[in-house]
Structure 1
Amino acid sequence: MAGFASQWFKRPLRAQLRGVAAAAMLCTAYAAQAQTQTPAPAEAPASSPSASPAAPVPQNSALDTPLLYQLLVGEIVLRNGQAGDAYQLYLDAARRLRDEGLFRRTVEIALQARAGDQALQAAKAWRQALPQSGEALRFELQLLLALHRGNEVAEPLRTLLERSPDAERPGLIATLPRLLQRQDQPRETAQLLDNVLKPYLERPDTRTISRVAQGSAWLSAGEAQRALSLAEQAAADDPNSPAPALLALEMLPRQVAADALVRRYMEQPQAEPAVRLSYARTLSAMQRYGEAVQQVELVTQAKPDVAPPFLMLGALRLELREPARAEVALQRYLQLVREQGASANEEGEDEPADEARQRGVTQAQLLLAQAAEQRGDMAQAERWLAGIDDPQRLVEVQARRALLLAHQGRVDEGRALLHALPERSEEEARAKLMAEVQWLRELKRWDETYKLLAAGNQRFSADPDLLYEQAMAAEKLDRVDEMERLLRQVITLKPDHQHAYNALGYSLAERNQRLPEARQLIAKALELAPGDPFIIDSLGWVEFRMGNTQEALRLLQQAYTARPDIEIAAHLGEVLWTLGRRDEALRVWREARGRDGSNELLRATLARLKVDL
């Protein structure tokens, strides 16, 4: 204590007095609380019915004068910055008194000093002194996880599960994978969860969620097939539970087999709308827009007064080039937002309600402008754009406005709008470049697109996405060798760039060259993005080129069901036409023409086959 005393007396007298007074108040208040605890009044003896009730007798506190002084000193040295000494004084007092409050204070002192091991030591001492303390158990478990001491978690975790009320235990089990996911060894974590949850795998109220928790842990450990097997067992246990379907959703698109489990759940009328929307988002990310629309429509029918699904439905309808139907959904969204305010929007975790509302309204306005543009109503599209006042969406608004001007023959004005966009950072400069690239592509000005991207790749070197865009521009200019060189460069820089593999394979198939290599490239792309309808379309096309017509038909029908795109329709129609199923081919082509009669591939296909719709 000599060192402590010398430091203490160097402090100004007023500061010393403040520290002593505060510490004394804390310790005196604690002692007063302990001394005022009283036992239950004793019953009067049976032989003395007239005896007066006994007066409450104060219970002597275990906090004697030396311990009171010890706590006072502990608080003083803590205020003097000596957390280690304070920790030892408080831990000793807590052990002697076996008091929850003092143990809690000891743990807090260690945490404030960022001494995790000491905090854990105090929590373990707390549990040893008070084995039934739920708070001590939670502190120990949380500290073990924070310190990545996963090998010590099993015992407190088992105890926590055993002590949990029956009604709360399934919810606790559901949180365990997320609770444990930050541990350094995910495989060991999954094995730990298997062992801890073993007693709950046969209980009707916990078996489904236990298998889902196990599956989630094994998925984090990279064992997707094992996770899927557990999800299937859980779904068999309880077909009505959404938990197995949600686990299966995490496996898409990598595990195509997981889709069957999700679809089985979605076929049930009582499937939860939130799960349907999650599935729709996953399908949309996989570009399976037709299937995504079906799921969102079911949600809007079940909940016609909930706004967010209508925004999603409008966006999907636009992807399918159905502008009139998109406008109906988007107008309904805006109507609900006006009627219900911010509550009609899905809020982000840290996003205020008003910001969520404005973000949704801005998105709807941009989509409505795009819908009007698809219908050829440029004036209405401009009115929607003029109503947007969101600096964060400036690039999108100006890009669409520039395109409207170009469609009206005012190309120079449109380009000037894009050139006026700010580029105060590399991120803004790249966004500005991509806006002009998109604008030029829409106008089919391929030579300018190529030159702009070549300059961009000089500035933003080793950017695989920009190189990919340049390769696509080279393909439009019939610079096939340059396209292949660029795509192979993309694959070298980013070996998991599925679009580069697909584009290279499709280009070979389209030119009827090196077809085995084309198939291999496309198969690699499909391995990286299972279920992608455009890649399945490419594979169908290369099978057709190789003479495997029935396999080509199967693949193209699968792709068209997932996404009824115009170019997929062109390929499917040609295969049907070749097989002599001409009425079906004409129906598919007419559907595609109804969406976009100007599509180059569709027109070229019809011209080559001499088909008049």
Structure 2
Amino acid sequence: MLTLLLAACASTAKPVTGSPGGSEADLLTAQNEARAEEEARLPKVEMNEDLLFGLLASEYAAQNGQTAAAASTYLELAQEVRDPRLARRAAELSLVGGNLNMALASLSLWSALDPESEQARLQLALALARTGRLAEARPLFDSLLSVPSRAPALFSHIAVLAPRQADKQGNYEVVQELAQRFPTLPESRFALSASATEVGADAVADQAIHQLASSRPDWVIPVMWRVERLRALRPALAAPFLKQALADRPKSPLELQLSYPRLLVADRQYDQARAEFTRLDKRNPNNPDILYAIGILDYEHKDYDDAERHLKAASAAGYRDPAFILLTLGQMEDEQKRPEQARAYYEQVGQGAYYPQAQARIASLEAQSGQLNAALARIEKLGPDLKEPARLELWRAQLARDAGQQDRAYAILSTALRKYPAALELWYERGILADQLGRPGQAESDLRHALKLDPNSMQTRNALGYTLANRGIKLAEARQLIEKALADSPDNGMVMDSMGWVLFRQGRLTEAYDWLQRAYAALPDGEIAAHMIEVLVKQGKVADARALAANMLTLHPDSDVLAETVKRLKVQP
């Protein structure tokens, strides 16, 4: 009876209704024979009232989502009556519930109670590996690998579990020994490469991947696995490794070939990335993904004509997101001060994910041309299309601000905050606007409120730190906030500018100028240039300040902050 009850509880698979290997009757006969062989070696347990109640209560708990309680009861019953079937059921429920510690206890008991069960040994070995204890599972893997047909699946599991191992060096040594038994098996090379990567044995890992280029040149998973782990562990090695792996696989799938320039983009090596995409374009003409990537990199370099040509070609070739291409083309026209052409692109963006953004861009163009009311009305119509209604209010405020109506923008934000007091972006925007309106106390209060809503916001930390530094107050706190923002975004030009500015306020002029130079290199901007001129004048380097002003006014003719600073400091060229 126990056997029948457990079979009914544990089985969730639908019966097989046919197979190319034989009739349904043949399959049922084979299954019955296997079950009979298993039952012959398992203990005969007498059903009693307590056992029956425990089984039924456990299954009821499992059916109602209480898998931990059910697994615990099954494990207790298995320990009491010494039946491996109960231990197996405890393991199944533990694994379903994600309780690996209880699963290990259940699997260990199952394996001990039924030492002939290959399934028990296999599941125990994998569970140990999943918990980072592959070295402890070495005897189990030795036994399981005595049947060569099991090796591919086992080594694949070992490979993907390599990052989880607590003792990575011990794991590497175990995998080395196991892999030596299967020197030509592709999966063993994958496992060896994965475990070697974790301990920095890069020559071994690279050699294993190199071997795969001959035995399985089309298998990209081991290559990409190593790339991703290198990016996490030793980023500088990822691109050179992938470049060599591709050289070893001249006929590798296009998706793997595309991974290399994409990796260069992630590393901000834009020139090299564009060259690689261009090379791939010659070998794969009219590929929409390649054309799109080249177009975006052209845009990054402000090569607007080439960017337009490549992006339009990508769209014509069937790029999967044509609306985003239209939005990008509109932004390019915006940057070139061609509002009519920009609007024409934005108006082609139909209903969908980018429609609200395109409409907001049109509204911005309307506001810039003096049609603020029309712009606000356009944004108002987007209400039903927005998942975040607070964003609509933010856009309305930004339109009023950009149209020079800062008091109106402030009023819009104040009204919106009464409706959406938890909207961080509204507090942030009003804080920035309050600072521009000469309300420093309100600016500080709003930015502190925004930071309270998200204490880890890099943008808010930087804004609050800069606001304090600009007022010349609480400079120690200002610097601390900016340093935290810089730790989160070390290459951010705006944050580097804030660091330079707070150092300037603290009188550390040489350090300040160094930071401002780095900021300008990352983000050529008129306000950063104005800060550099401020520092030079403070250092008494008036001639240098005047020369810099002459250059920067040419580069940033529309920067009001720069023009005002040059005039105030009397360093006009």
Give, in angstroms, the shift of residue 28 of structure 1.
3.6
Residue in 1 that maps onto 2:499 = 539
1:377-416 matched pairs, under 5 angstroms: 377-416=338-377
Aligned to 2:186: none
Contact kept, 8 Å, 1:423 with 1:432, in 2: the verdict is no
Q: Encode CA deviations 1:522-543: one digit per residue, 9 max, x unaligned.
A: 2232234333322112112222
The aligned counterpart of 1:602 is 562
1:29 equivalent in alignment to 2:11:
no
Matched, 1:448 2:408: yes
Asked if the contact 2:497–2:528 (Cα under 8 Å) also holds between the matched residues in 1, the reply is: yes
Aligned match of 1:334? 312
What pairs with 1:206-225 in structure 2 (closer than 5 Å)?
A: 209-213=194-198
1:235: how far off?
8.4
Query: Within the alignment, does 1:129 sit opposite 2:92 as a pair?
Result: no
Aligned residue type for 1:391: G
Equivalent residue for 1:417, pick from 378, 388, 401: 378
Q: 1:461 is paired with a residue of what secondary structure? A: coil
Query: In structure 1, how many angstroms separate the alpha carbons of the residues matched to 2:522 and 2:444?
Result: 29
Q: 1:388-426 CA distances to partner (integer Å, 9 max, x unpaired)?
A: 22322221121111112223332222111111123377x
Shift of residue 557, structure 1, vs aligned partner? 2.9
Residue 467 of structure 1: how far off its partner (Å): 1.3
Query: Is 1:155 paired with 2:137?
Result: yes
Counterpart Cα distance in 2 of 1:334 and 1:573: 42
Provide the rounded CA distance (Å) in 2 between the counterparts of 1:66 and 1:130: 9
Secondary structure of 2:161's aligned partner: helix
Asked which structure has the greater RCO (Cα within 8 Å, sep 6+), the reply is 1
Residues 96-126 of structure 1, C-alpha deviations (whole Å, 9 max, x = no match): xxxxxxx9xx99x978x97996996898599
* Whole-angstrom CA distance in 2 between matches of 1:556 and 1:529: 16
- State the partner residue of 1:195: 170
Secondary structure of 2:311's counterpart equals helix
- Which of 278, 291, 301 aligns to 1:301? It is 278
In the aligned structure 1, how far is the partner of 2:194 from the partner of 2:298? 36
Question: Contact 2:243 / 2:260 at 8 angstroms: preserved in 1?
Answer: no
| Residue matched to 1:176 | 161
**Residue 434 of structure 1 corresponds to which residue in structure 2?**
394
1:480 to 440, 451, 474: 440
The number of aligned residues is 472
Q: Secondary structure at the match of 1:391?
A: coil
Map 1:570-585 to 2 at 5 A.
570-572=530-532, 575=535, 579=541, 581=544, 585=548
Partner of 1:277: 262
The answer on whether the counterparts of 1:174 and 1:213 sit within 8 Å (CA) in structure 2 is no
Residue 334 of structure 2 aligns with an amino acid whose one-letter code is E
Q: Say yes or no: does 1:467 pair with 2:427.
A: yes
Whole-Å separation in 1 of the counterparts to 2:226 and 2:313? 35
Whole-angstrom distance in 2 between the partners of 1:393 and 1:301: 28
In the TM superposition, residue 478 of structure 1 has moved relative to its aligned partner by 0.9
Q: How far did 1:193 drift?
A: 4.3
Query: Shift of residue 574 of structure 1?
Result: 5.2
Q: Contact conserved, 1:314 with 1:327, CA < 8 A, in 2? A: no
* Matches of 1:572 and 1:432, distance apart in 2: 37
Q: How does 1:32-71 map to 2 (within 5 A)?
A: none
Q: Please state if 1:589 is matched with 2:552.
A: yes
CA contact (8 A) 1:440 1:448 kept: yes
Distance in 2 (CA, whole Å) between partners of 1:423 and 1:266 is: 46
Residue identity in the other structure for 2:166: Q
Q: Distance in 2 between matches of 1:66 and 1:535?
A: 68
Q: Which amino acid aligns with 2:470?
A: E
Task: Return the offset for 1:384.
Answer: 0.8
1:4-33 deviation digits (Å, cap 9, x = unpaired): 99xx9xxxxxxxxxx9x99xx988413766
Deviation at 1:192, TM superposition (A): 4.6
Q: Which region of structure 1 is more displaced relative to structure 2, 396-405 or 25-34?
A: 25-34
| Shift in alpha-carbon separation, 1:311–1:173, aligned structure 2, 3 A | farther
1:559 maps to 2:519: yes
SS at match of 2:166: helix
Name which of 465, 489, 497 aligns with 1:505.
465
Q: Secondary structure at the match of 1:392?
A: coil
CA offset at residue 555 of structure 1?
2.0
Residue identity matched to 2:278: Q
SS in 1 for 2:353: helix
The amino acid of 2:438's aligned partner reads D
Structure 1 length as normaliser, TM-score? 0.61
CA distance in 1, matches of 2:489, 2:169: 31
AA aligned opposite 2:446? L
**Does 2:527 correspond to 1:530?**
no
CA spacing shift, 1:276–1:209, aligned 2, 3 Å: farther
1:236 is displaced (CA, Å) by 11
Partner of 2:333: 372
CA contact (8 A) 2:431 2:447 kept: yes
Distance in 2 (CA, whole Å) between partners of 1:370 and 1:243 is 36
Distance 1:275 1:473, change over 3 A: farther
Q: Aligned-pair distance for 1:471? A: 0.5
| Alpha-carbon distance in structure 2 between the residues aligned to 1:277 and 1:136 | 44
- The answer for the alignment partner of 1:550 in structure 2 is 510
CA contact (8 A) 1:293 1:313 kept: no
- Matched with 2:251 is none
Other-structure match for 1:58: none
Question: CA offset at residue 472 of structure 1?
Answer: 0.7
Structure 2 counterparts to residues 284-295 of structure 1, below 5 A = 291=268, 293-294=270-271
Amino acid at match of 2:564: A
Corresponding letter in the other structure for 1:499? Q
Residues 497/31 of structure 1: CA separation in 2 closer, same or farther (3 Å cut)? closer
1:300, distance to aligned residue in structure 2 (A): 2.9
Q: C-alpha distance in 2, partners of 1:571/1:123?
A: 72
Gap runs ≥5 in structure 1 = 9-18, 36-60, 69-81, 85-102, 179-188, 215-229, 252-257, 284-290, 343-356
Distance of 1:293 and 1:143 partners within structure 2: 43
5+ residue gaps, structure 2 = 9-14, 41-55, 60-84, 181-188, 211-222, 248-256
Change (3 A) 1:199 1:269: closer
Distance in 2 (CA, whole Å) between partners of 1:538 and 1:65 is 76
Rate the CA distance shift 1:149–1:528 in 2: closer, same or farther, 3 A: closer
Partner of 1:225: none
Residues 120 and 136 (structure 1 numbering): CA distance in 2 closer, same or farther, change over 3 Å?
closer
How many angstroms apart in 2 are the aligned matches of 1:154 and 1:3?
A: 32
Post-superposition shift, 1:250?
Answer: 4.1
What amino acid is aligned across from residue 26 of structure 2 in structure 1? A
